[in-house]
Structure 1
Amino acid sequence: MTSLDILGIGNAIVDVLARAEEDVLVRHGMAKGGMALIGPDQAETIYADMGPGVESSGGSAANTCAAAAALGAKVGYLGKVADDALGAVFRHDITAAGVHFPTPPLSGGAPTARCLILVTPDGQRTMNTFLGACVTFGEKDVDPAAVAAAQVTYLEGYLYDPPAAQAAFRAAARIAHAAGRKVAITLSDAFCVERHRDAFLAFVKEEADILFANEAEIRALYHAHTFEEAAAQARADVGLAALTRSEKGSVIIAGAATHEIAAVPTTVLDTTGAGDAYAAGFLAALTAGHPLPECGRWASVAAAEAISHFGARPQADLKALVAGGAQGIAAALG
């Protein structure tokens, strides 16, 4: 196995994105800005009520891997798809993005997962996920050679919902640490954190070297009244934390050091994948040996690119954006 900078592990999902008015969310009882797990019947009902959509390979960690590869990182990905048409589409797309994808498909059983994403006029995305084949991902799907070959194994919090995934995360962490590698986890969603709060807390304290979270997620993890209170607890629990705050930028915490990173101004069209892109920029810079403030800058640039267009995967040249100055970035992103 050749060396990797980043290995992502997450839910392999095909995204269906469509614009929607607020009343569609109300009609289906959706919590705006959140992610809900749905069954096959509900997936059909919501899909029928959606306007024209754009289908693309997605999943949070997969989006991070694709963006990191676009930044020049050597990237691998583990995630379960079915041996069906959507599974083939996912495999083609992520491989075409330059990401090594060794996980064999599921033969028989549930179909490839899909996420129905409704984007309201304010750019906020609300996700409804049918996990399908994703729920079968377990310890047997953790590729020891890939984990040991990666500088950082990046774990997607959304994958905590299937029962076997927590054991898979622990197995991946054991392999990574035995090989002298780092483990990163993203909390993914405040609702997901609340469902598995004790397990998340234990994993962050016992296994994680790097933590990614937005303000709502980190406050949910610690049941904190303020961002500052949650950040202080994260500092005590993990060696490195990158905490995003939307237009307020982000805060990077490493031991006693704190780095405040400004957001890159852009026109917000769709917030889908903002956190995924942020993690991609951060990890691509970190594994390339850059100091933490520069990692934060790469992350902010990647996140700004993600929210400047419809869909989660990069559409601009991320390498050029990162290399450009503030004026060049502003011109490129509008």
Structure 2
Amino acid sequence: MRIAVTGSIATDHLMVFPGRFADQLIPDQLAHVSLSFLVDALEVRRGGVAANISFGLGRLGLDPLLVGAVGADFAEYEVWLKEHGVDTGAVHVSAERGTARFMCITDEDANQIAAFYAGAMQEARDIDLAHALYGRPRPDLVLVGPNDPEAMLRHTRDCRDLGLAFAADPSQQLARLDGPQVRDLVDGARWLFTNEYEAALLLERTGWDRDDVLARVGAWVTTLGGDGVRVERAGADPLLVGAVPDSTISDPTGVGDAFRAGFLAALSHGLPLPAAARLGCVVASAALSTVGSQAYRLDRRHLLTTAERAYGPTAAAELAPALAHLESPEHLESRDPLESPESPDPLDGTS
């Protein structure tokens, strides 16, 4: 199953504050906030939503096509992605701007304050999907992830014009999009991905209620943090799958991206929705226990042990076929050097 992933490609600058942001906020002074946090740690890692999801899909054996815009400083990052199963042939390299930067501070409650500098990502709006896909296998799904807003709208229109199934994952960019733009991105999506806060923001932006959204998408997947995930479809009871219990929390950055990779990989292997949600949660748990969005390991035995502990032996056995390729030695370890077939379409959600 071929998946193209469009969206941000960035370098993450991850900092840790040994306290609580909430303790630094004075309720009657919120209109005049001026804070500086002395942090204890700084990690510089590879990131960006599209690159993170592609990395996870590549590790899970799907050969995803990454579509986005970067600067000339992308060369080493590109080698890393290729080594982990990502097709970077559709990545645009800017002659003028550097690769995007994500800067994030996480407190001891895993709350985050972040900023994102777009850089070369601004040129993603110039990427034509028909041109990017020319000469390549036609994707079964295009994920439209957070990106330059005009790029997101263009990629969605391109999918409709080309008759390509697409997943809408507006994520952090909901804060930059107005109602008509959000409605345009969501309408007709086979899959809609949000977290719980983004779900509420999406309803506020669009003016739709939950039933309105479900009438316009194939399925709405909402990650719930420590409570797991909810999958909703029109006319069906919500599917609720709990998170992996007692997961080690090292860094929440990129955990949602890891979930998406596991979820889509399971569907691509023909697994039903409950199994897809479970694999998404298991891969997310692996990412949560590691600092950096692309530093987690995917060891088949460990993933199946985690799935059995969280969901039972039958559920773990159901995931085994999707993880078979991870038995080979070259898949057993992943470390970021920045540390000093034909069947009914499994992506249609009918399983």
Give TM-score scaled by structure 1 length: 0.78
Residue 252 of structure 1 aligns to a residue whose secondary structure is strand
Answer yes or no: is the 8 Å Cα contact 1:222–1:233 preserved in 2. Answer: no
Please give the residue correspondences for 1:1-334 in structure 2 after superposition, counting only pairs within 5 Å. 5-21=2-18, 52-84=41-73, 87-103=74-90, 105-142=92-129, 143-145=132-134, 149-156=138-145, 158-161=146-149, 163-175=150-162, 177=163, 181-189=164-172, 192-193=174-175, 195-205=177-187, 207-223=188-204, 231-257=210-236, 258-265=238-245, 266-317=247-298, 319-324=300-305, 326-327=307-308
Structure 1 or 2, whichever has the larger Rg, is 2
Higher relative contact order (CA 8 A, sep 6+): 1
Q: How many corresponding residue pairs?
A: 297
Q: CA RMSD in A?
A: 3.1
Structure 2 CA distance for partners of 1:82 and 1:72, relative to 1, 3 Å = same
Answer yes or no: is the 8 Å Cα contact 1:9–1:79 preserved in 2. Answer: yes
In terms of mean alpha carbon deviation, does 286-295 or 12-21 score higher? 12-21
Q: Please give the alpha-carbon distance, in whole angstroms, between the structure 2 residues aligned to 1:327 and 1:88.
A: 40
Could you give the per-residue CA deviations for residues 177-197 of structure 1, whole angstroms, max 9, x where no partner exists? Answer: 2xxx421121212x6346333
Once the 2 structures are TM-superposed, how far is the Cα of residue 247 of structure 1 from its aligned partner? 1.8
Structure 2 CA distance for partners of 1:315 and 1:60, relative to 1, 3 Å = same
Structure 2 CA distance for partners of 1:141 and 1:112, relative to 1, 3 Å = farther
Structure 2 CA distance for partners of 1:187 and 1:153, relative to 1, 3 Å = same
Once the 2 structures are TM-superposed, how far is the Cα of residue 281 of structure 1 from its aligned partner? 0.9
Answer yes or no: is the 8 Å Cα contact 2:71–2:120 preserved in 1. Answer: yes
Q: Please give the alpha-carbon distance, in whole angstroms, between the structure 1 residues aligned to 2:175 and 2:304.
A: 35
Once the 2 structures are TM-superposed, how far is the Cα of residue 232 of structure 1 from its aligned partner? 3.4
Structure 2 CA distance for partners of 1:321 and 1:213, relative to 1, 3 Å = farther
Once the 2 structures are TM-superposed, how far is the Cα of residue 107 of structure 1 from its aligned partner? 4.5
Letter in structure 2 aligned against 1:217: E
Structure 2 CA distance for partners of 1:328 and 1:71, relative to 1, 3 Å = farther
Which blocks of at least 5 consecutive residues in structure 2 are unaligned?
25-35, 312-351
Once the 2 structures are TM-superposed, how far is the Cα of residue 54 of structure 1 from its aligned partner? 2.0
Give TM-score scaled by structure 2 length: 0.75
Residue 103 of structure 1 aligns to a residue whose secondary structure is coil
Residue 150 of structure 1 aligns to a residue whose secondary structure is coil
Letter in structure 2 aligned against 1:200: V
User: Following superposition, which runs of at least 4 residues in structure 1 exceed 6 angstroms of deviation?
Assistant: 23-27
Letter in structure 1 aligned against 2:157: R
Could you give the per-residue CA deviations for residues 278-326 of structure 1, whole angstroms, max 9, x where no partner exists? Answer: 1111100111111111111111111122212222125222544443354
Answer yes or no: is the 8 Å Cα contact 1:69–1:75 preserved in 2. Answer: yes
Answer yes or no: is the 8 Å Cα contact 1:274–1:303 preserved in 2. Answer: yes
Once the 2 structures are TM-superposed, how far is the Cα of residue 96 of structure 1 from its aligned partner? 1.8
Once the 2 structures are TM-superposed, how far is the Cα of residue 91 of structure 1 from its aligned partner? 1.1
Answer yes or no: is the 8 Å Cα contact 1:124–1:272 preserved in 2. Answer: no
Once the 2 structures are TM-superposed, how far is the Cα of residue 113 of structure 1 from its aligned partner? 1.2
